[in-house]
Every structure is written in C-alpha cells, then in structure tokens.
Amino acid sequence: MLIQPAPKLLKIKKTVTVVLMLFSLIFATSGLAKDLPDIGDTAGRILTPEDERRIGAQFYRQLQQSVNIIDDPEANQYLRALGLSLVSNSDDPFQPFLFFIVDNPTINAFAAPGGYIGIHSGLIFAAKNEGELASVLAHEIAHITQRHIARAIEARSKAAPLNTAALLAAILLGASGNGQAATAAVAAATAGSVQSAINFTRTNEKEADRTGITILARSNIDPSSMPDFFGRLERASRINKSALPEFLRTHPVTQSRIADSRSRADQHKGGGRKDTESFQRIKSRLRVLLADDKQNILRQFESKAKKKGATSSTRYGYALALTERERFDEARRVLNKLLIELPDDSHYISALAKVELADNNSAKAVKLLSDNFELSPHNHAATMHYAEALLQAKRPNDARRLLQTHLRRGNSQSALTYKYLSEALGKTSATMEAHEALAEYYLLTGNRKGAIEQLEIASAIAERNDGLADQRIDARLKQLRPKDKKN
C-alpha cells in the first residue's frame, strides 16, 4: 500500500506502477546490505526483515523533511494505541510498528518497509467511525506482516532475474546518494514488465483485505467496516469521476474486491464495535488544529454545538475552537459542563488546562494536569501536557525529572519529549545535556545534520568538563556521521 502525496507536499516523480512508486520513495535509503542479495532466492534472502527496517527508518526520516507530520500528543497517542491493538491481533504481533498522521487533505494511507504506517488527515475526516479507520490500518498492517515488498521483489526475480538485479542495484545506488543514477537504473530495470507488477499488486491488495478483516474480527471491531468504507469511496468516485480519492488511485478498488471483502466479513459472526467516542473527539480535535480559517471552523462547531442533542465530541471541538479564538470564558463554561458528565476525562482536563495556560493562569493549569497525571502516569499525552505547563510555570527542574522518568519508561520515540527536555535542561543550566536532547529531537524529526551539529557542540563542552560524557557523545556521533567522516 503506497503513498501518493499532494504535489505541494512531496515532489516525487510519478511512476506507472505501484511497485515503482515504492522504490521512488526509498531511493534515498542508506544502510542496506553491502553486497547485492542473491537473485532468485526466497523473499527473506532478497530483502531481509533487517533490510526492511533500515529502509523504513530512512524513508521516515526523508518523509519528515518533505511533509508535515502532525506532532499532537493526543492524536498520536490515539492512533498508535489503535494501531498497536490491531497489531497484537495480527499474525506477527511482535513486528515493530510506527503509526503517524500526515497533514494532507487527500484520502489516503500508506505502508513503508519496517512497519511505518502513515494516515492522511483527510482519510480520518472521511471515515465515519473508528471501524472505518481501523479497517484501513488493518489493511496496511497486513501489507507489512505479509511482507509484500520482499515478495514483490521475489516475484520479479523469477520473471526477469537480470531486471531484478538492476532494480536492487538502483536501490543501492540510491543508498549511496546518487538519486539520478538510481532513477535511470530503475527505469531500465522495469521496462517491459508493467503488467506483471500491476497484477501482483492487485493480488497483494486482495490478500491485505482478507488478512485485515481477520485482524478486525480478532480485535472485536466490526469487519464489515472495511467493505462499508471502500464501497462508499467507490460509489462516490462513480458519481464524481473527477474527484477520485487518492486512496482509490493507490489502492485500486473494484466491485469484485468489495464483494469479496463483504463475503469475508459476513463469515465472522458477532459483529464488534463500530465506533468510539475517542475517535470522534480526535476527529474534532484535528479539525480545529488543522483548520486554516479558525473563525470559520468556530462557526461550524458553534452551529452544531448549540443544537439540541449535540454530541460530546462536537462540544469538545467547540471548546477547542473557542480557545483558538481566545474566547476563554466561553471555552471554560463548555469544558466545565463536559467535566460534570465525565470528571476524569483526560481530553477535557487537558483542554481546560490549555485554556488556563493561554489565559496566563499557569498555576491552575499545573494543578489540573498534575491531578490528571497522577491518574495516568504512563499516559504520553498527559505527560507532555504536564511538562509543557511546568515549563510555562517556570518549574524546569520538575519538568526535567518528569521527562527523564518518561524516557526511562521506554517512551523514546517521541520527538516532543526531547524538545521539552532540551528546553528544561537549558533552563537548569545543564547546557551540554540540553544540546544532547536537542540532537535526539532533530534526529527523530529527520534532521540528521542538525543532530550532528548539536552533538558536536555538546562534545566541545564535554571535552572541557566531563571526560566520560565526551566518550558517550563521541560514540553517538560515530553512529550518526557518514562512514567516510567517522574518526
């Protein structure tokens, strides 16, 4: 399942097959095997799981420099929790995954090697319920667990070994940074084999549907959500052919494929859940956060929130929109009413704390978030909001301890954690450590050069003051520097 981002966000040359599209994305990868794998061997020998992880990690770093990946703690926590719950019910529950949201209005999703799965914000808005979003995630998870990329290479090697060798050579050229040579090589490698690649991709799509439906059923999510969503997109495209969703361009959906997924879903008795309030809240949250016209989004939520029987997610979105327009008293009233209904709801508490922070009441915000954190000390979003409030309240030592504990608990994949930690360390005069934390933030946001520069600054400080720290930083630099620049 592959991405076709909006041109203004990611300028990747269009290709004639989905397989080519993938390789156009991974030309910039580094760290693949030094020698070309044996051609015609099994999928695991042509492209090992370790190769896929390396490709995926570099792909993600490159992607971060080209598109806007949403760094909202609550939205990210929701998506990752949903995604990992699906993975736990897949055929490969121990495969590592990273789920993230791309700020892109098109309806699309994609899977990259190594378990990197991106969802466009437009797809979240298009999904009517959590089941529909979960069906896309399950489909993408299936592409990873079924190892469709390696299998595609294996299939091509059986049909045309020399072409496959050229294709893999192109990948390695890309790994060395020679993008133009890689583009030329892949064009030559794939000439004359377009139809076989398309057919294999369609097979992958059907298999991902079937595997995804099993994952949904095991996760107690209504499997009919998949044919419901795909069918709705397909019907809309037939009505308005000029507005074909990007998802249908990169994931061709036919009537027979929808019928097959419907038949598979019907085999699972007992249904499962269709929706959750959490999904609807996150959907409202993203609408407010990503809106270009804050006044217009406020009018939309206000109109819905004031109708009789307005949902809690609509009122929550209304409160967020009021906060964006600095109408703090009104936002407080809406959120306090919601908290009467659900006193311990972390979404509402965090939203009210944001009102207090924006209205320069940092002490109130800290108290709200401290109590919330005590209820959920392992909650990533609660931790990030609490750290932000502590920093604004000029309590950097408390923020530092909070964030370091969070990292010790294994939450090392959040760029925002390192960003706040760097700020906290800088305000406690731990300058060297602040540069180290900022380096990790840059690395997680795809800026390897910036990470190296920050570590070099930290190393210069350590040379004067701390020999052990200098050794630690130098070891990290050796990991990040290009091989020809390592000491």
Q: Catalogue the active-site residues.
A: 140, 209
Taking a C-beta distance cutoff of 8 angstroms, is the pair 99, 137 a contact? yes
In sequence order, which residues have a C-beta less than 8 Å from that of residue 478 and are 6 or more positions away? 486, 487
For residue 1, give the nearest of 230, 171, 208, 167 by alpha carbon. Answer: 208
Phi then psi for 31, rounded to 5 degrees?
Answer: 85, 20
